[in-house]
Structure 1
């Protein structure tokens, strides 16, 4: 069995193992990481033989840590990343290059259609009817998009939202509220098979699925990095946040919204961002917490999106695709039956 895990911002960790009767019988660790002393590699390999294949990632990492010599130095990887690669080997996980990725980038769509398409396209990938897909969103209507488990009244000031023309809608993924308006954000969705993140913790999968975006931002001069659990940030402040939903049919939705040209005052009027939300962010101002891409780069929104698409294609391959009429029709059905209903919007009042 073979498993790989590219540590976001770090090195590639590769595990080749054999197992029999629920126990690892042979284990070989390799990669482009740095490890001292040399004997530490053999110590890890020896320690992993005899470990039960059902051992979870946390326990594997602890076991690996205990096996290391006292003077061991690991650079570019960690016991956690070895554990992740091991779990991916045992689950026969796939990599980016195992798939043909498609790009869909239609023109502006209504907010509810965007949310419904996220469900439809994730289902289609999970069922194997659609290739894994990167979708870039375009907006021409203002909206507040709240997370699946958020309370409407706790997150949004309804009078301010109505006064400024923002419709409140709810997505299928968790996470926080986002203020969306034309030319102010960069949003993308990844629709992937579950095998791509097999064996990863949720925290690992967030960083793994967005490493290409961080590299794209770095290529245009932003000191971007991933901040657990789900933020893309720079020294100047937060750039954007990710959210994820995994469906029962194996499809994975991972989407990110980044601020391009944010109106901080408007955001604090429409969204209720309390002290508790900011308590661990090192700032007392919600408006100052986020730093838009426009101010950091001076580039147009279109130029940033072009660089992101180019980076994804260079790393993983990308061919043009289209959303089918059948997928659009299913999305509009979901708007009528689910996303556009009060039952869905106020499922958490």
Structure 2
């Protein structure tokens, strides 16, 4: 069995192993990490050999850490990274380059249609009718998108939303409310087979699926990092947040919204959470909590998206794609039957 894991912000870890009579055998660790002393590599190999095939990541990491000499230095990886890679090998996880990725950057649609497309396209990937896909959203309407489990009345000020023309919609993933002002956000979705994140915890999968965008932002001069569980940030403040949904057919939906520009005053009038967390004197602080891409780069939204697309394509070999007429039709049906209904919006009043 073979497993690979690119540590977010770190190095590539590669393992090869056999399973003989329920235990790990012939284990070999490799990668582009740094490790001192040289003999520590053999110590790690010995520690993993003989472990039960059913060992979880915690047990594997503990065995690796216990086997390391006191003066060992691990740079670009950790015992936990070795454990993730072992579990990915044992579960026969796949890697980005195992797939023929499509990159979709299509027309603007309504907020409800965007959310319906997330469900449709994820299911299409899970059913094998669509290749794994990165979709970049376009907005010509503004919306507040609340998480699947949030209360509408607790999150949104209806007067503020109406004043600034924000439609309120509910997505299928968890997490917090996002103020999506047209022209002021960069949003993308990844639709992938679950095998891509096999062997990882939810927290590890968040960072793994967004490693490419961290690289894109760094190439623009932004000191971007991933902050668990689901934030993309820089020393100046938060840039964006991620959310996920797993489907029974084996698909993973991972979507991210990053702030391109932001009006702090509008934020506290539209979202109730702004009023609770920030005093009057803290309205400026509200803006400072988020550090938009425009202020950090001076680039247009289109230029930033172009760099993201180029980075993803360069790393994973994506080819241009589109949404089919049938997929749009399925999405519009879902809008009518689910996403535009009061029952869905107010499922948590």
Structure 1-normalised TM-score?
Answer: 0.96
Which runs of no fewer than 5 residues in structure 2 stay unpaired? none
Quick check: 56-65 or 109-118, which moved more?
A: 56-65
Q: Which residue of 1 aligns with 2:38?
A: 38
Q: Secondary structure at the match of 1:80?
A: helix
Q: What does the per-residue CA deviation read over 1:212-270, in whole Å, with 9 as the maximum and x for residues that have no partner?
A: 10111111111111111111111111111111111010111111100001111111111
Tell me the CA shift for residue 70 of structure 1: 1.6
Any residues of structure 2 matched to 1:1-349 within 5 Å, and which?
Answer: 1-273=1-273, 285-349=285-349
Change (3 A) 1:74 1:276: farther
Contact 1:93 1:196 in 2 (8 A): yes
User: CA-to-partner distance for each residue in 1:308-338, whole Å, 9 max, x for gaps?
Assistant: 1011111111111111111011101111111
Is the CA contact (8 Å cut-off) linking 2:4 and 2:89 kept in structure 1? yes
CA deviation after TM superposition for structure 1 residue 274, in Å: 5.8
Aligned-residue Cα RMSD (Å) equals 1.6
1:272 to partner: Cα distance? 2.0
Q: CA deviation at 1:277?
A: 6.8
Q: Runs in 1 of length 4+ with deviation above 6 angstroms?
A: 275-278
Cα 1:84–1:336, aligned 2, differ >3 Å: closer, same or farther? same
* Number of residue equivalences: 345
Distance 2:277 2:346 in 1: 22
Is the CA contact (8 Å cut-off) linking 2:96 and 2:316 kept in structure 1?
A: yes
Tell me if structure 2 keeps the 8 A contact 1:28–1:45: yes
Q: For the residues of structure 1 that align with 2:148 and 2:61, how far apart are their CA atoms?
A: 32
Give how far 1:182 is off: 1.4
Assess if the C-alpha contact under 8 Å between 2:264 and 2:284 holds in 1.
no
Q: Secondary structure at the match of 2:46?
A: helix
Distance in structure 1 (CA, Å) of the matches to 2:64 and 2:273: 41
Does structure 1 conserve the Cα–Cα contact (< 8 Å) formed by 2:243 and 2:255?
A: yes
- SS of residue matched to 2:145: strand
Give a deviation string over 1:271-305, Cα, whole Å, max 9, x none. Answer: 12269879xxxx99332200111111111101110
Query: 1 CA distance for matches of 2:136 and 2:75?
Result: 35
The 10-residue stretch of structure 1 (123-132 or 157-166) with the greater mean CA deviation from structure 2: 157-166
Contact 2:294–2:301 (8 Å) recurs in 1: yes
